[in-house]
């Protein structure tokens, strides 16, 4: 019986300059506080250009958390929350990716590890497309959203307000914009003049 070769594996990396890993939680149930992680990366492999076959090992440096408030960031890095001295990374390993619905959204299931605790979660992924940038490098874009309960990972710190409401909600909304670059490419354009750092948008 004749056999056919499977499509080659394609490796992708995250372009951190054009990606954002962010979260949002309710404060006193009347407002939201938004935060981001500044340092992250992933090992991503697909079969050809089919992202339904993606194998993702993603990590975040917990020390890179920021909410644009030094005092709050210091608290988030303490043992009350992420305990960054003992738990230096948050990781996510992909599982299955469902077929797209009529709006082009996929369900991604995987294992999220925080504070040494691993739980299965579901994320929603919207594929934004693949194209070549001005230098000829192939790129792919995704919007990722989801919700988790932080208490499932032992993040249970809270304080009551005078009204009886809790200071911080248990539910955390995840919102990420991720741009990938295909690894192993060579530029197909000729650079006539050097590009200054501030010109790179």
Residue-level pLDDT, tens digit, the chain, 201 residues:
344 456 789 999 999 999 999 999 998 777 899 999 999 999 999 998 889 899 999 999 999 999 999 999 999 999 999 999 999 999 999 998 888 887 778 999 999 999 999 999 999 999 999 999 998 889 999 999 999 999 999 999 988 776 667 789 999 999 999 999 999 876 555 444 444 555 545
Whole-angstrom Cα distance, residue 70 to residue 31? 19
In the DSSP assignment, the letter for residue 71 is H
Indicate the domain borders of the chain: 9-199
The encoded tokens of residue 167 equal 């200071």
Given a contact cutoff of 8 angstroms between Cβ atoms, the answer to whether 29 and 165 are in contact is yes
The reply to whether CATH 2.40.128.110 applies to domain 9-199 is yes
Given a contact cutoff of 8 angstroms between Cβ atoms, the answer to whether 199 and 191 are in contact is no
């Amino acid at each position: 019986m004749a056999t056919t070769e499977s499509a080659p594996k394609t490796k992708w990396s995250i372009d951190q300059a054009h990606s954002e890993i962010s979260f949002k939680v309710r404060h006193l149930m009347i407002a939201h506080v938004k935060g981001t992680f500044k340092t992250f990366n992933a090992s991503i492999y697909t079969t050809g250009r089919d992202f339904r076959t993606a194998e993702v090992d993603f990590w975040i440096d917990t020390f890179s958390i920021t909410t644009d408030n030094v005092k709050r960031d210091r608290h988030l890095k303490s043992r009350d929350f992420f305990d960054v001295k003992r738990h230096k990374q948050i990781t996510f390993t992909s599982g299955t990716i469902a077929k797209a619905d009529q709006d082009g959204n996929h369900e991604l299931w995987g294992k999220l590890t925080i504070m040494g605790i691993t739980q299965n979660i579901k994320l929603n992924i919207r594929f934004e497309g693949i194209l070549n940038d001005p230098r000829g490098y192939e790129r792919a874009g995704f919007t990722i959203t989801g919700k988790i309960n932080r208490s499932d990972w032992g993040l249970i710190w809270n304080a009551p307000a005078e009204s009886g409401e809790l200071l911080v909600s248990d539910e955390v909304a995840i919102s990420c914009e991720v741009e990938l670059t295909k690894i192993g490419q060579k530029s197909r354009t000729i650079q006539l003049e050097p590009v200054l750092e501030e010109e790179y948008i």
